[in-house]
Amino acid sequence: MDFFDRTTKVVKEIGNVTKEQTELANLKIQKAAIEKKMEGQYAEIGRRYVAYIADSFRTTPFDVTDILDAINPELERVSDIADQIAQKEQQVRQHSIEKDRKKALEQFENEKRKLDKARDMDVISMAEYEEKLGKAQKKFDNFEMLKKIQMQFEMDIITREEYDEKVKNVLQ
């Protein structure tokens, strides 16, 4: 039953992430479609401006209020969708961090169980147990900092050597 419960939990988590990512993709598609639709209106503004500049006598004023009136609701929709995208991206990031934090806690608990078993079987001394458990606890306690270091490395902000050094310093 334990295996079934864990499998169900993982499937639900994957479903939530997939749903959030699908919603995010749909919002981006909506935004792109509106922006594509507005390209024609922007082109018309450009054509009118060129015609205005080409008219050396400038007998007619440069007027695009009709296009701006038509495009304004679309601009508002794009702005609203951009806000929704930002919120959804934040939710996806937060969900990912929570998932990673939960995974770190599970790793700590697994390490503790292993160490408890090794200590109970006299495979390791109490001093070794406390040292190894302390390192595992420190790794979990510094999850946020280690996550930031990992992100710096993944974004090519720091080298592998800098990454290793920073992780070593955090865990000491």
For residue 38, give the amino acid letter: M
In a domain, 150, yes or no: no
In a domain, 165, yes or no: no
Q: What is the pTM of this model?
A: 0.60
Burial class (CB in 10 A: 0-12, 13-18, 19+), 149: buried
For residue range 6-65, list pLDDT tens digits in order.
Answer: 656 555 555 556 788 888 899 999 999 999 999 999 999 999 899 888 887 777 788 899
In a domain, 87, yes or no: yes
* Residue 79 domain boundaries: 2-141
Structural domains counted in the chain: 1
Burial call 16-44: b when 16+ CB within 10 Å, e when fewer: eeeebeeebeebbebbeeeeeebeebeee
Query: Contact 112/133 with Cβ under 8 angstroms?
Result: yes
In a domain, 160, yes or no: no
For residue range 109-154, list pLDDT tens digits in order.
Answer: 999 999 999 999 999 999 999 999 988 888 888 888 888 898 898 8
For residue range 67-125, list pLDDT tens digits in order.
Answer: 999 999 999 999 999 999 999 999 888 888 888 889 889 999 999 999 999 999 999 99
